[in-house]
Structure 1
């Protein structure tokens, strides 16, 4: 009973209640936390309210944060930052500027711990397995932007930050059947994929917060890494769509995300270790 009461004394703010953030915030409500959630448009506020989440409309540019009560939204012990870099030409300056503005607001708030949802796109294709000990500059703009944002957060001293780098997101209404259906001469057919189901994203985030794992970096992708050819062909077949064809004879570019560290640290077993089993 004492433990439950302790949990209910805590408040969590989830910045970005979309496909992943909304069910995550809903789980926190079920666990007894006081939960605040943000969305970018007014029409999405009701979905938060319906789940028992205190709703806030919040947008961040590289110049300002627009929120009717930013101080109220950040009145929490824990903040989950869960919004991806915008696809734009200046992504490598715009997204870090957004995070820099957010850091200023966090420093003036009671937030003690930040969980930043990042991506394994911070790594280029190295044609090998990758662990958290690998430090390799990103080549894509989105990966560079995320890496800069991560470093800004990790360099702060007024709060602690844990980084969770997720593989490709799948699950429920985000299944892969239509991604490559009917496409011709798709490259990298024999490259292994790195995906993670929504259930495991939520399970890992919840476990990090429950076990109070701060000031660390983790990777998260399903245990099994089938090839693009096998995965997307089967996905299209199961959905009754035209199967893709794959280019032959071109150099292979890939990475295999190793998630052993987070599984060991949290004593976590993936709910969906094999992406093929979901098709």
Structure 2
């Protein structure tokens, strides 16, 4: 019997993951909260569902979306006040459906924002108290899922996402006075998709993984190069100190025996230059 995967949040990352899983022979259901994305999903072969998760309730067209073997949650916290209350409440509503439909396996897309910037390398278990409310909301959401005994959750903490249609040259083009001597924690969408797919294929559950490029160039080097290959104004960096963290992904690499397509974000920029990338 073919395995069914439901992806809650088919945006820039979730849709690409769905396409990849379809090629591997899985049945894929995908959710969106907008009508335009709903129509786009239909053309990919992903079975489209309308789902909007609110703290008080879930707005959904068909609850058969949750009739699945694996639920992948790809919904970041929205930028709004009280996010430390709202996002965990949203996850709580999702848990209600997981329990009701007796889903056994959950894959939660998290973020390295759960780590404090302590000017050192961080590994799984070094979370501390994140500076941003979004980071605190995400780590609480992780705990809600990981502490459940009636299903298994694997959490993947991605660094900053780069890749198709996300030109990093635009992030800081023309800006001035930016502290530039801090390392970046980035990952390409292609690697994100392969990592999530391999976790599902290899059935690695009940784990927490960091997922970033193993190489961490300085902010000034990466974003200057990104602007250069995109014909955008080069940002001006300062030597002012800035708190940072270096996210270590050794656990993921060892457990999955994973080889990054883009071991450094600079590899991606070199590829863009080779293709005369312009956005």
Q: TM-score range by the shorter chain?
A: over 0.9
Q: Is structure 2 residue 35 aligned with structure 1 residue 42? A: yes
Q: Which of 259, 265, 268 lines up with 2:258 in the alignment?
A: 268
Q: CA deviation at 1:110?
A: 3.2
Which residue, 211, 216, 222 being the options, matches 1:231? 222
2:183 aligns with one of 189, 192, 203:
192
Structure 2 Cα separation of the partners of residues 222 and 175 of structure 1: 17
In structure 1, what is the equivalent of residue 128 of structure 2? 136
Q: Distance in 2 between matches of 1:95 and 1:218?
A: 21
Query: Counterparts of 2:26 and 2:224 in 1: how far apart (Å)?
Result: 42
What is the aligned length?
269
Alignment of 1:57 with 2:50, yes or no, is yes
**What SS does structure 2 have at the residue aligned with 1:246?**
strand
With the length of structure 1 as denominator, give the TM-score of the two structures.
0.94
Q: How far has the Cα of 1:194 moved from its partner? A: 0.4
Per-residue deviation at 1:133?
2.9
Q: Deviations over 1:159-213 (max 9, x none)?
A: 10000000000001112001000001012x1000000000000000001010100
What per-residue deviation string (whole Å, max 9, x for no partner) do you get for residues 27-68 of structure 1? 111111111100111221122221211110110111110001
Distance in 2 separating the partners of 1:244 and 1:266: 37
Specify which of 196, 210, 213 is matched with residue 219 of structure 1.
Answer: 210
Offset of residue 252 of structure 1: 3.0
What secondary structure is seen at the aligned counterpart in 2 of 1:169?
Answer: strand
In the aligned structure 2, how far is the partner of 1:43 from the partner of 1:229?
A: 37
1:3 maps to: none
Q: Deviations over 1:207-240 (max 9, x none)?
A: 1010100001000000110000001111111111
Q: TM-score, length-normalised on structure 2? A: 0.94
Q: Distance in 1 between matches of 2:78 and 2:87?
A: 7
Q: How far has the Cα of 1:263 moved from its partner?
A: 0.6
Moved over 3 A (4+): none
1:80-125 CA-partner distances (Å, limit 9, x unpaired): 0001000011110000000011101110003110000000000111
